Structure 1
Amino acid sequence: MTTDTAVVTAQTWTGAAARAEELHRAYGRGGAAVRALRGVSVAFAPGTFTAVMGPSGSGKTTLLHCLAGMDRPTGGTVWWGGTEVSRLPERRLAELRRSRVGFVFQAFNLMPAMTVAQNVELPGRLAGERPDRARVLDALARVGLAGRERHRPGQLSGGQQQRVAIARALVARPEVLFADEPTGALDRATGHDILDLLRAGVDHDGQTCVMVTHDPVAAGYADRVLLLADGLLVDDLVRPTAAQVGERLSQLGG
């Protein structure tokens, strides 16, 4: 399921599409504070597919949100290419996030009253940008939804709705695509279609994809699997099989 694309190890920083250095994230204060991340350092090479896994409460979703600029770390830094984004003012961060990264949610997060095309255009419209119709149609064609631009989400299957969400993330042609359990709400066959789509973006378009998943089979599509436990990075597996991932997760209590 993976290619021979070279993958970066956790200690390789030069030229990374995204990286985190000594990342900490705590919620609450004092003795009641929950330390979701405790000094995680990791880098993602351009054109690679990484799965992030771990037991419930391990910090994997927090790591993804911090990497994507959707949550602020309490300590450490986040970089997109050569730009440190963890301390940018919110407006500047939002501008960069729209142009540099895409995000796909498990629950699709589509607006039911809008057409497929309008949903794909929405982030740009909220930013005050004029929609580029050609880009929208191209993004929909790339995810296999050409001709569906006038449909509404309720007229589509769950897998098709997730394709709309991916098209929305791809329309700005981001360097890095972050996906939080993108197949979690889908049946297995439809989930494989979505994973094939994410894999194709890496193999054919040189995109960098970072995906949180709980499914070892989904992780088998990745070049690399990061394992977190108790807010720490505890393993970094290169092209493991689903069985190897499952065995390692069981050792962590996942």
Structure 2
Amino acid sequence: MAEMATDSRTETAARAEDLHREYGRGTAAVRALRGVSVSLAPGTFTAVMGPSGSGKTTLLHCLAGMDRPTRGSVWWGGTEVSRLPERRLAELRRSRVGFVFQAFNLMPAMTVAQNVELPGRLAGKRPDRGRVLDALGRVGLAGRERHRPGQLSGGQQQRVAIARALVSRPEVLFADEPTGALDRATGHEILALLRAGVDQEGQTCVMVTHDPVAAGYADRVLLLADGLVVDELGRPTAAQVGERLSRLGG
């Protein structure tokens, strides 16, 4: 097995250095990322925004180890993960990061608890019932472990998805439009939950969103355009985000 590259600079939970990602070849190639460098400090909430096609989701997927950069590197703490063999990367991904999608991706025939346990079972691990119940308690679903997804509201289903991402106690939680399928009131509940995880649990969270109100929950907002980070806002209001995004055509 190839040795993992390590780095003494562990003050970041995750970072990307000179990240490039191209799809296709020759004249048909699409340059989704064109030299992006970002750092995620532990215990912070970062929102990533930009117009359609700006590269925000590609950046998230590369940072989360779900896509590999064409050039550049991705680090989780002091470990470079962008060049690891796929099996080793998958092992680290299961133990060190969590991912929440816009679509809840729950198994309808399974109970809430079984859905939360599923990633561990797929990894060949025996479920830790205490961890499952703790994760469900953290997202406000204590006592719902025997319910099935069809018996829950959309917001509750997204809470199950967040519990599933948190059960392994990941260092970084990646969220791709986590409120995109929810009404505004329920979306605020989910965003408050993510914010509380940062403030109360020291969770590191990075979220792609198109919604300036959602971005207002973050400590900072990275704005992408044409595969580049073109601006950064610290603790902005929704109005400030919306105004800056409108200049980018978002």
Kindly report which structure 2 residues correspond to 1:161-172, keeping only aligned pairs within 5 A, or say none. Answer: 161-172=157-168
Q: Residue 62 of structure 2 contacts residue 69 of structure 2 at CA under 8 Å; is this kept in 1?
A: yes
In the alignment, the residues of structure 1 paired with residue 49 and residue 79 of structure 2 have an alpha-carbon distance, to the nearest angstrom, of: 26
Q: Residue 98 of structure 1 contacts residue 123 of structure 1 at CA under 8 Å; is this kept in 2?
A: yes
Q: Residue 195 of structure 1 contacts residue 221 of structure 1 at CA under 8 Å; is this kept in 2?
A: yes
C-alpha displacement of 1:63: 0.3
C-alpha displacement of 1:3: 32
Counterpart for residue 71 of structure 2? 75
- Long gaps (5+) in structure 2: none
C-alpha displacement of 1:177: 0.3
In the alignment, the residues of structure 2 paired with residue 108 and residue 54 of structure 1 have an alpha-carbon distance, to the nearest angstrom, of: 23
For the pair 1:3 / 2:12, whether they are aligned, the reply is: no
Structure 1 residues 78 and 210: CA distance shift in structure 2, 3 A: same
Q: Residue 6 of structure 2 contacts residue 80 of structure 2 at CA under 8 Å; is this kept in 1?
A: no
In the alignment, the residues of structure 2 paired with residue 177 and residue 40 of structure 1 have an alpha-carbon distance, to the nearest angstrom, of: 20
- 4+ long deviations beyond 3 Å: 1-4
TM-score (norm 2): 0.96
Per-residue Cα deviation, 1:163-204 (whole angstroms, up to 9, x for no partner): 000000000000100000000000000000000000000000
Q: Residue 2 of structure 1 contacts residue 221 of structure 1 at CA under 8 Å; is this kept in 2?
A: no
In the alignment, the residues of structure 2 paired with residue 167 and residue 231 of structure 1 have an alpha-carbon distance, to the nearest angstrom, of: 32
Worse overlay, 197-206 or 14-23: 14-23
Per-residue Cα deviation, 1:41-68 (whole angstroms, up to 9, x for no partner): 0001000000000000000000000000
Per-residue Cα deviation, 1:179-233 (whole angstroms, up to 9, x for no partner): 0000000000000000000000000000100000000000000000000001000
In the alignment, the residues of structure 2 paired with residue 29 and residue 154 of structure 1 have an alpha-carbon distance, to the nearest angstrom, of: 44
Structure 1 residues 3 and 218: CA distance shift in structure 2, 3 A: farther
Per-residue Cα deviation, 1:2-34 (whole angstroms, up to 9, x for no partner): 999xxxxxxxxx611000000011111111010
2:16 partner SS:
strand
Q: Residue 69 of structure 1 contacts residue 93 of structure 1 at CA under 8 Å; is this kept in 2?
A: yes
In the alignment, the residues of structure 2 paired with residue 85 and residue 29 of structure 1 have an alpha-carbon distance, to the nearest angstrom, of: 25
Structure 1 residues 144 and 3: CA distance shift in structure 2, 3 A: farther
Identity %: 91
Structure 1 residues 55 and 92: CA distance shift in structure 2, 3 A: same
2:187 partner SS:
helix
In the alignment, the residues of structure 2 paired with residue 83 and residue 149 of structure 1 have an alpha-carbon distance, to the nearest angstrom, of: 35
Q: Residue 73 of structure 1 contacts residue 86 of structure 1 at CA under 8 Å; is this kept in 2?
A: yes
Q: Residue 21 of structure 1 contacts residue 40 of structure 1 at CA under 8 Å; is this kept in 2?
A: yes
Q: Residue 3 of structure 1 contacts residue 223 of structure 1 at CA under 8 Å; is this kept in 2?
A: no
In the alignment, the residues of structure 2 paired with residue 18 and residue 242 of structure 1 have an alpha-carbon distance, to the nearest angstrom, of: 26
In the alignment, the residues of structure 2 paired with residue 41 and residue 143 of structure 1 have an alpha-carbon distance, to the nearest angstrom, of: 32
Q: Residue 6 of structure 2 contacts residue 78 of structure 2 at CA under 8 Å; is this kept in 1?
A: no
Structure 1 residues 3 and 164: CA distance shift in structure 2, 3 A: farther
Q: Residue 3 of structure 1 contacts residue 203 of structure 1 at CA under 8 Å; is this kept in 2?
A: no
C-alpha displacement of 1:86: 0.2
Q: Residue 2 of structure 1 contacts residue 223 of structure 1 at CA under 8 Å; is this kept in 2?
A: no
In the alignment, the residues of structure 1 paired with residue 118 and residue 203 of structure 2 have an alpha-carbon distance, to the nearest angstrom, of: 22
In the alignment, the residues of structure 2 paired with residue 216 and residue 30 of structure 1 have an alpha-carbon distance, to the nearest angstrom, of: 36
Kindly report which structure 2 residues correspond to 1:40-189, keeping only aligned pairs within 5 A, or say none. Answer: 40-189=36-185
Q: Residue 45 of structure 2 contacts residue 219 of structure 2 at CA under 8 Å; is this kept in 1?
A: yes
Would you say how many aligned residue pairs link Structure 1 and Structure 2?
245
- Long gaps (5+) in structure 1: 5-13
Counterpart for residue 235 of structure 2? 239
